[in-house]
Structure 1
Amino acid sequence: MTEHDLTALRERAENGDTTAVDELVELAVERGDIDELRRLADGGSTDAVDELIQLAGELGDMDELRRLADGGNNDAADQLIELATERDDLDELRRLAGLGNTTAAEQLAELTAE
């Protein structure tokens, strides 16, 4: 796909063409383009949000997961807790637990009991 084609596809998506949005999400996933997924997610695409969470988790991008979780996305919070647990990141688990996340509190209790 040329840059011109991509620009045209983005214009269609911005004008409400859901097929264009779906194509952009698919292309972004294929390219591993977290910035494009973020832009589409911020524009309201739930598919882009789901793919963004998955890609951020695969890349270990805690900042992106934190941004989504802090915005109220429970799936991102769960992925962030999983990643923080794998990394023994007690500070992140404490932060999430302090915000009222019971799963983070449980993981924190488990890790500190070991």
Structure 2
Amino acid sequence: MSDDDELAMLRERAAVGDRDATDQLVELAGESGDLDELRRLAAAGSSDAAAVLIELAGEREDLDELRELAAAGSEDAQDVLAELTDE
């Protein structure tokens, strides 16, 4: 099975509520720095994906990403943003 096939299978399982599949996707996306995948998972309700997304955005000093997350109500993103700026 190719990596693309495995990811597609994990996404299908995650879409029907398979927590293990979601956790695997979050781990893979975090390791590869796949912000799009993390955004998608966070939008689907994964707090772990949101946490990893905030962590990566903070490490990259991606202020735009952090501002978007903060504007969406993430207190963690607000905290990281405050650490990186005077906002």
TM-score, normalised to structure 1's length?
0.68
Choose which of 34, 43, 62 in structure 2 pairs with 1:61: 34
Q: CA deviation at 1:43?
A: 2.3
Runs of 4+ in structure 1 off by over 6 angstroms are: none
Choose which of 48, 51, 63 in structure 1 pairs with 2:21: 48
Q: Match for residue 59 of structure 2?
A: 86
Q: % of aligned pairs identical?
A: 55
**Corresponding residue SS for 1:88:** coil
Q: Which blocks of at least 5 consecutive residues in structure 1 are unaligned? A: 4-27
Q: Is the 8 A contact 1:56 1:65 kept in 2?
A: yes
* CA RMSD after TM alignment: 1.8
**Structure of higher CA gyration radius:** 1
Q: Which blocks of at least 5 consecutive residues in structure 2 are unaligned? A: none
Whether 2:83 is the aligned partner of 1:110: answer: yes
In the alignment, residue 35 of structure 1 is paired with which amino acid? A
Whether 2:4 is the aligned partner of 1:38: answer: no
In the alignment, residue 9 of structure 2 is paired with which amino acid? E
TM-score, normalised to structure 2's length?
0.87
